Amino acid sequence: MVVTINRRLAGMLIAGGLFAGVALPQAALAQEAPRDFKGEELVVQTLTGTAGKFFRDIAEPFEKKYNAKLSMFESLSSDTVAKMRANAGNQESDVWMVAETWGTVLEKEGLLEPLSVKGVPALETLMPTGRRKNDAFMLMSLAAMNITYNKDKLKPEDLPKTWADLADPKYKGRLILPAASSTFAVMLIEEFNNAGGGDVKNIDPAISELKKIAPNVMTYWTSFDQNFNLMNSGQAWLAVSSSDRTIDQALKGAPVGATYPASGTVFIGNAVGVTKGTQKKDLAEAYVNYLLSPEVQKLMADRIGQIPTVKDIEVSQNVRELLPQGDAMKNSLSPDWGEIAANQAQWVERYTKEIVSK
């Protein structure tokens, strides 16, 4: 099932203050009496790249407040899931972070320890899109699929107006798309499939459109570093990419911008939760709660471009302008990632064989 954001997410983001100049509320976390964990160590698996660095940068205030030690390592979502499957009953982390699609997989496979409102009171401050009915995990932030472009190579009038415009011959050899291993390949399939009337069992509409675009592709990026090395150097002019990574690069001075067709885009969440079997659930939940504090949510937006899921967080103007606006927001999609996860292997196989390998 696909839920359009104009019925679900856009209104929540606007009402929640993301696109309005609302005052930042006092942090509930700051009002709590901190518990002394007496130097206990918590192992946290984080997202990778700039996001991974961000979580290391914000570790110290938590460690001081709770007298705890955070030990962190980065991992791609697919690798995290593979390790958690292999290590069931003897996990290497207490807290995990993955793309929303993979969080749904972990939930279905029983590898998660549900969150409690007692341990994570900030769950009550989440917009509905950030919270699961059973609190198996939560979404700490959102990202949107975008078309990143090199501002030195393309003017606004040169940009694609629709996703199908990526097939325009003027982009031949200058377009990069996500590799099959990327969640953004799945999101791209979903965008074309929804527009073409397909469903989770039938992605023929998406494959048909992608075949038209494939002749323009320079390469299929396997990491965001590769993506932005090609974009920032001007070798590539356009990339199907992520809003948060594009914002991060733009804030660092890279010559990149973001465009979103009026038909909308696809949003995905960054999931975080507690590993089943952890002996440190109280400390793990305290850390998850910390990630939902207004201060951390605002920093996450303003420093690495991730969209807050907590209500009443104001996002800086230079970040907002790189997010979907108007019709692009209203027409966007919030897919049923559970349904997609059950069919993702088949999607990836077809994308690999019929698009990437051709």
Of 19, 22, 8, the residue nearest 324 (C-alpha):
19
What is the per-residue pLDDT for 33? 62
Quickly list DSSP for 219-257: EEESSHHHHHHHHHHTS-SEEEEEHHHHHHHHHTT-SEE
- Topology of domain 22-142+268-316, CATH: D-Maltodextrin-Binding Protein; domain 2 (3.40.190)
What is the per-residue pLDDT for 24? 35
What rounded mean pLDDT belongs to the chain? 90
In the chain, where does the domain assigned CATH 3.40.190.10 lie? 22-142+268-316, 145-267+319-356
* Whole-angstrom distance, CA of residue 235 vs CA of residue 233: 6
What is the per-residue pLDDT for 6? 39
Low-confidence spans in the chain with pLDDT less than 50: 1-8, 11-12, 14-17, 19-31
> Is domain 145-267+319-356 in CATH 3.40.190.10, yes or no?
yes
Q: What is the rounded radius of gyration, in angstroms, for the C-alpha atoms of the chain?
A: 20
Of 165, 333, 146, 328, the residue nearest 249 (C-alpha):
146
What is the per-residue pLDDT for 26? 40
Please state the pTM of the whole predicted model: 0.83
Q: What are phi and psi of 180, to 5 degrees?
A: -60, -25
pLDDT digits (tens, 9 = 90+) for 217-242: 999 999 889 999 999 999 999 999 99
**Maximal CA-CA distance, the chain:** 62
pLDDT digits (tens, 9 = 90+) for 147-192: 999 999 999 999 999 999 999 999 999 999 999 988 899 999 999 9
What is the per-residue pLDDT for 18? 52
